[in-house]
Structure formats: structure tokens, C-alpha cells
Amino acid sequence: MAEQAGQQNVIKRAMALRKAGQTVEALGLLRGALRRGGLAPEEIDKAGRFIQKELPVVAAADAPRAACRVLVLGQCTTNWLSTALTAEAWGRGCGLLTADGEYDNVLQELMADRPESSGFDFVVLVPWNARLIGGGSDMPAGQRLEEELDFWEQAWTLADKKLGARVVQVGYDWPGPGPAGHLLGRHDNGDLDLISRANDELRMQLPRGNCFVNLSDISGLTGRRTFYDPRRYFWTKQPFSEAGTVLLARHVWAAIRALRTGPKKVLILDLDNTLWGGIVGEAGPLGVALGESPDGEAFVAFQKHLKALSRRGVLLAACSKNNPEDAREVFLKNPNMALSLEDFAAFEASWQPKSAVVERMAETLNLGLDSFVFFDDNPVEREEIRHALPDVEVVEVPADPAEYVRAIEDGLWFETAGLTDADRKRSEQYRVEGKRRAAAATFASMDEYMASLEMAGEVRDIDDADMQRAVQLIGKTNQFHLTTRRHGEQDVRRLIGQAGSVGLTLRVKDRFGDYGLVSVLIAVADVARPQTLRIDTWLMSCRVIGRGVEEFFFNALLARAAKLGCRKLIGEYIPTAKNAVVKNLYDRLGFARLNQSPDAATTYELDLAACQPAKTFVKPANQ
């Protein structure tokens, strides 16, 4: 009862702040409560409505990310899902501006004429099974399935062509097995068989660059009796319970984030009572709980889960208040450890505040704090990170280590729409980066160090083989991204398909290893300026910033522009909270400013006849 009263008090306090003219503070209060999971489903709905109303007014003042616009459409009522989606995104630091369509008006809403200012980044499509399973219809089951699939394919085409938006396609589900029951329902054309086949077809046919969310998987997390509310459906055509709506919204937001920025990159872990039971400084490296007991087995299972995350590209970092020797000794001496020191991209045991250590890790790994997730069994340490580093996601760690894996999974921080070779190699690449940093300390000058790296670059046209990685970089790169335009695959293909356009990727190696595909550049013919190439998109992985890689890529662009007979290059820098590192890039490369705008977009021009190739330590890979 006290907890419920506290939840209600958050909403009341937010309303009181708004009434006092402190709307930004009210939104901040709600964001904190949502981040902690401190609101019941009905309160999340109230919070979402509050945010939907106030967010456009304050222009997402409490979130460092630019607002994202989402249209939610369905064969069922979707306004509660839209509200919950707004709340979930706000709790994760994104101002999500949502709009709804009328009940079961999916195609009509997508075909409607809308003002240019009401464009959408994503369309969420929510089916319901009434037409698919027939409900007494005489139409053959196979025909019903075919018509439903045709319907959604039309919706995908309209979302792309009419709105230029990416799609999050939710799947079908069954609240009950239908008249055939569980056994016969799985046979040809039974309700359960139809729903399973429809989901398989939706997932396979959905164009790349979009995302499929399996509703059947989500309802299974809580059980369909909890996830669905038949009374709500008959009264409002909204089939989900309040708790089911929130859970679905959480997964839809995870899909949007996966398409928009990709998963979180780093999982920071405490050691004592997190990776093993007990305190190593007291129990010794062989006395901590690992295996051979229920808790010990739970810690080993958690470590195995973390190792699997590492293999698919999530960076692990250790941050422990401990003596360094004690912390490392468990990894070196305890045979039950599933993780080794080599599995960590960063490892620090000290007695400093953990926020200071995390900031140092972010600087060392050259990643933004919003790339990090913090997992620590100590609630005091969690609160210190929340207060000092609000961009870091903090896991509310359960008391029982048997629940640790579930806590990671429930957060959905590492959900991704696809894996590339670069993702799978990320952990190894950061380990190699540590060797590069160690080598840098042995040289008297940066030029000597750069020359010693023996860097080689390969420039290629964007092709099908590199398309997924190129689109991924465009979607998630923030620091070296001159415009932060988030082009999906369809947008990239359209841009590079234009006459006179240039679409390039860059791969880099050095004597320590292969960085992989690290940079993407798209330039198009400027219709307003003859013989002019306009750089629409230029971005580069933070791992190679400051090593002359951008100058090498720029020289490749100069050569391509000359082949096209261009006389000028036009570049644009649009400042964001994170891309200040490239604020003066065009100035360094010899471009002239066409306008002076410190806080808004700045346009640059380069006369190709008067420019010289930039100095770089990167050589062509074929030399």
C-alpha cells in the first residue's frame, strides 16, 4: 500500500509542478520514476499522457536526444499502447512523439495526406487475429492467411514510399487455442497453426532495415491470462491488459531503439556478490561462492550469460571497490570462473567513487556514457551512478543471484535487429586497442606513433555486402557524424542510386589488427549548383578518430569528385550534443564557410581546383 501511494504521489507531484509552471522539473521527476521501474501499469498510462501533452511544448528539454516521431496503427485500438510507448521511451531518455490512427484503419491512415511537418521516423503496425482465424468465416484458411500477408505488405510499402518511415511490425498471437483446442490447433489450418505460419511469413518477408516483434514471445513472458483482457477487448477493441500493454510497449521501444541507435555497447559489472558470492578480500579467491551450491551455480550461470553477450559484441567492464590484486586473483586462481580477465575491455578495482571510474572508462573506450549499462548488487552504488551519470542505464539488481540473468534480459538493453561481423569482433577489437594505447606511450611524438601503426585503408562503393553495416553505422554513430541524419536502407539505396552520386565505405587495418568497416560517406549532385557534389552524410567510428583516417577518406572523395567532373564540394555541419569533435573538420580540410552559425547548421564550400590532398598516415591497402 505504501509503495502504491508513493507511485500515485509521483503523478500528483508532477501535476503540482506543472501547475506551478515547472513543467521541465515535472518531466524530470517522471523520467526518474520510470527509469527505476517505480510506477504501476495504470500510473505508467497516466505518466505517458502527461508526457504526450507536455513534451511538444518543452521540446524534449529533459532529454539530450532529439525527439523521435512514431505513428502507431493497428487492427485493434492502439491509443493505450501509444501512451505506454511514450512513457517507456521517456524513461530511457528519448522524447518520443507518438500519434495514433483510428481503430482498424491502417491503410487509410498510411494513405492520408499529411503536412510535411508531421513526418514520422517509424510506423508501428499491430495486427489482431480476428480476420486471420476467421471467427466463423467461410473463407478458406489459406486464403485468409494470404490476404492478411498482402495487407501488411501494402502497409510496409506505404510506410516506406508515403512516409519514408521504418516499420516495427508486431506479430499475431492467440489468447486462447480456439475451438480446435491445443492439440488439433497445431494441425494444418488450425488457429494456432495459422498464427504460427503468419508470424513466420511476416518475419521472412519484412524488408531488411525494419524490425519484427513476436507478440507470442512477449505474452509468454507473463502468461496469456495476465497479458490479455477479453473484457477490455469487447468494450474498447484493445485486447491487452494494462500490464500487457506496458510490456508490449517496452518491447516495441526496444525495437525502435535497435533500429535507431543500436543496442547499448558496454555492460559494467561489480565483482563481489555480483560475479561471485561473498567478498574476496575476506574469503580469498577460492572461498567465494562459485559452483557447488545453489547460489554458486547461479553466479556461474550468470558469468556464462555474460560471456555469451561478449561473443556477440557487448563489451564487458569490471568496476569494483577492491584491492586490485584481490580482484584479479579470483580470475587467475579459481577454476570455477567462466569469465577470464581477457573477456573484459576495461578492468578497474580501486576505492574511488564508481562514477569517476565509469567516466574514465568512457574516455578510455571513446564511447558516450549513454552506451553503458551498470550492474551492481549494492543499491548505494546504483544510486550514486544514477545521480552522477544520468545517461548511464542502471539495472535494478535483484537480491537473489538466480534472478541476475533475467534482470539483464528484462531490461532489453542489448536487443539488436541484426548482427554484423563488426559486432561479433568488437570485443577483440577493443582488446587490440589496449595494445595500441600501450604502444603509444613508447613514442616521443604522435607522428612517430602514427607512422608506426602502418595503417592501410580500402575505399569501396557501398554494395549489398556492406549495406547492413553501413546502415548500422549511420543509425548509431554520434560523435563523428556531421549531420546525424539517420538514413535507413531504403534511403541509402535511393541516395546512392541518383545520377552523379557517391556512396563510399572505408575499411582500415594496421599492424595490430583489422578495424573493419569504420566510415561511410554519401554525396549527391547538388541540383542548385552545377558541377557540385554535396556531402549528405559522413560518419566514422569513434575507434579511429584522430588517426588521419578522415583525411585519407577525404582524399578518396576528392579523387572521385574529380572523375565526376565536379568543381566544388558542399559540406554541412549540424551541431548536436555529441558531435562537437567534428565541429571544425571542414575548416581543417580547407573548406570555406558560406554562413556563420555557431548554434545551427553551418554550410561549407570547397573549390576543388584550389585544394590539396590532406596529410594522412593511412596508405591505400593495395600498395
**Domains of the chain and CATH, by start:** 63-260 (3.40.50.1110), 266-411 (3.40.50.1000), 421-620 (3.40.630.30)
Mean pLDDT of 139-146: 87
Total residue length of the chain? 623
- DSSP secondary structure letter of residue 614: P
Question: For the chain, how many helices (H) and strands (E)?
Answer: 26, 19
Asked if residues 223 and 235 have their Cβ atoms less than 8 Å apart, the reply is: no
Judged by DSSP in three states, 183 sits in helix
- pTM comes to 0.80
User: If we measure between CA atoms, which residue out of 35, 34, 56 comes closest to residue 43?
Assistant: 34
Identify the bridge partners of residue 393 per DSSP, sorted by sequence position. 373
Distances from the Cα of 549 to the Cα of 20, 542, 553, 622, angstroms: 52, 11, 6, 16
Asked if residues 575 and 482 have their Cβ atoms less than 8 Å apart, the reply is: no
Asked if residue 136 has pLDDT above 70, the reply is no
User: If we measure between CA atoms, which residue out of 440, 461, 473 comes closest to residue 547?
Assistant: 440
Mean pLDDT of 165-176: 93
Specify the pLDDT at position 3. Answer: 44
Other C-beta atoms lying within 10 Å of the C-beta of residue 544: 24
Distances from the Cα of 434 to the Cα of 333, 344, 365, 366, 507, angstroms: 24, 11, 9, 12, 20
Specify the pLDDT at position 574. Answer: 87
135: left (phi over 0), alpha (psi -120 to 50) or beta: left
Asked if residue 367 has pLDDT above 90, the reply is no
Percent of the chain with pLDDT over 90: 43
pLDDT tens digits, 284-341: 989 999 988 899 999 999 999 999 999 888 999 999 998 889 999 999 999 999 999 9
Dist CA 148 CA 30 (whole Å): 39
Asked if residue 581 has pLDDT above 70, the reply is yes
514 — phi, psi (to 5°)? Answer: -105, 120
* Average pLDDT across the chain, whole number: 87
Q: Could you give the maximum distance between any two Cα atoms of the chain, in Å?
A: 82
Dist CA 265 CA 362 (whole Å): 11
Asked if residue 4 has pLDDT above 80, the reply is no
Dist CA 72 CA 62 (whole Å): 24
Mean pLDDT of 109-124: 81
| Torsion sign (Cα): 609, 614, 615, 618 | negative
User: If we measure between CA atoms, which residue out of 268, 239, 122 comes closest to residue 176?
Assistant: 239
pLDDT tens digits, 42-79: 999 999 999 988 887 665 444 434 578 899 999 999 99
Asked if residue 168 has pLDDT above 70, the reply is yes
462 — phi, psi (to 5°)? Answer: -60, 125
35 or 440: whose pLDDT is higher?
35
| Torsion sign (Cα): 251, 252, 254, 258 | positive
Specify the pLDDT at position 598. Answer: 61
Dist CA 605 CA 590 (whole Å): 9
Q: SS3 sequence, 100-111?
A: ECCCCCHHHHHH
pLDDT tens digits, 387-442: 999 999 999 999 999 999 999 999 999 998 776 666 666 666 666 666 676 677 77
95 or 71: whose pLDDT is higher?
71
242 or 602: whose pLDDT is higher?
242
